[in-house]
């Protein structure tokens, strides 16, 4: 009787150890990954809250029958922005551009060149940063 | 008499071991099931945390490409985003757009990337609401004027 109790306890003990091993090897890494994703999300939200840009000025020059635009943008936030991920919309349509700075540090002004834009008249411009923060400017003749 | 007593002890011992083994087996099986479910759930939560996107159009000027309205979708999350008409559903003014009436110019976009969402629909002049539901039911609402 005593020995059967010991044997049963041993079997149940081994089962508990196996269950603990399954939990630690499978579940704990997943919890760690979720924690990392949560930290990344907090970082992105923090950057978004600290991101701000301001379009200071737009100048236009003639390029054949079309126009080239130079858009002056200042980083008025407190996060350095990568201009390669920016998007420039003119009258709602996206255009390719070149920028004077690859990284726009806080308080620095960058110049975005958009060439060969067709059409005369008023142009409504929107510049969007890598995390979706944007500013507008209306170019009036 | 001695053997029957020993035999009884052996029978009890075997029975106890069998019961303990059965209980252990059930315990481990349940643990595996629960761990697997929690793992799957954690994976989905991780995908939800990594997924985020936004429509970056000028709400006053939505460009058109033939009979399609063109919307720019930007990946502002932390992982690559699959952009197909199976992973995204599009609503305009609350009405679900048929799968054959919209498509993306790219099948996936990297972090920070932009793709074109082309939607074929007829929109009257005035204010409209575009609602896009992506993976893990992450939703983006965009109000625009035609």
Min Cα–Cα distance to chain B from A139, Å: 15
pLDDT digit string (tens) for B59-96? Answer: 999 999 889 999 999 999 999 999 999 999 999 999 99
Q: Which of B28, B50, B63 sits opposite A19 (nearest CB)?
A: B28
Tell me the pTM.
0.86
Min Cα–Cα distance to chain B from A116, Å: 18
Assess contact for A68 and A55: CB atoms under 8 A.
no
Residues of B within 8 A of A85 (CB-CB) are: 112-113
Which position has the higher pLDDT, A141 or B44? B44
Residue A113: CB partners within 8 Å, gap ≥ 6? A68, A69, A70, A71, A97, A98, A99
Interchain CB contact of B29 with A (< 8 Å): no
Percent of chain B with pLDDT over 70: 98
Cross-chain Cβ contact B49/A41 below 8 Å: yes
pLDDT digit string (tens) for B101-127? Answer: 999 999 999 999 999 999 999 989 999
pLDDT band at residue B8 under the 50/70/90 scheme:
confident
Residue A40: CB partners within 8 Å, gap ≥ 6? B49, B50, B78
Burial degree of A115 (CB within 10 A; 0-12, 13-18, 19+): middle
Q: Which of B21, B45, B70 sits opposite A34 (nearest CB)?
A: B45
Which position has the higher pLDDT, A120 or A91? A91
């Amino acid at each position: 009787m005593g020995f059967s109790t010991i044997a049963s306890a041993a079997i149940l003990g081994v089962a508990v150890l196996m269950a603990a091993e399954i939990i630690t090897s499978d579940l704990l890494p997943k919890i760690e990954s979720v924690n990392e994703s949560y930290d990344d999300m907090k970082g992105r939200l923090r950057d978004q809250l600290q991101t701000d840009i301001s379009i200071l000025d737009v100048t236009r020059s003639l390029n054949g029958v079309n126009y080239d635009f130079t858009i002056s943008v200042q980083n008025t936030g407190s996060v350095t922005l990568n201009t390669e991920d920016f998007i420039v919309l003119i009258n709602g349509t996206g255009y390719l551009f070149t920028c004077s700075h690859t990284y726009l540090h806080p308080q620095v002004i960058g110049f975005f060149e958009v060439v060969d834009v067709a059409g005369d008249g008023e142009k409504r411009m929107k510049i969007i940063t890598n995390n979706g923060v944007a500013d507008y400017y209306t170019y009036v003749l | 008499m001695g053997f029957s007593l020993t035999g009884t002890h052996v029978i009890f011992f075997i029975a106890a071991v069998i019961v303990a083994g059965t209980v252990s087996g059930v315990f481990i099986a349940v643990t595996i099931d629960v761990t697997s479910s929690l793992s799957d759930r954690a994976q989905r939560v991780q995908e939800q945390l990594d997924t985020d996107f936004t429509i970056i159009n000028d709400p006053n000027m939505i460009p058109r490409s033939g009979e399609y309205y063109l919307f720019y979708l930007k990946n502002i999350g932390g992982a690559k985003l699959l952009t197909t008409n199976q992973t995204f559903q599009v609503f305009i003014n609350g009405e679900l757009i048929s799968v054959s009436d919209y498509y993306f110019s790219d099948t996936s976009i990297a972090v920070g990337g932009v793709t074109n969402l082309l939607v074929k629909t007829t929109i009257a002049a005035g204010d409209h609401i575009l609602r896009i539901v992506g993976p893990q039911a992450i939703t983006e609402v965009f109000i625009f004027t035609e």
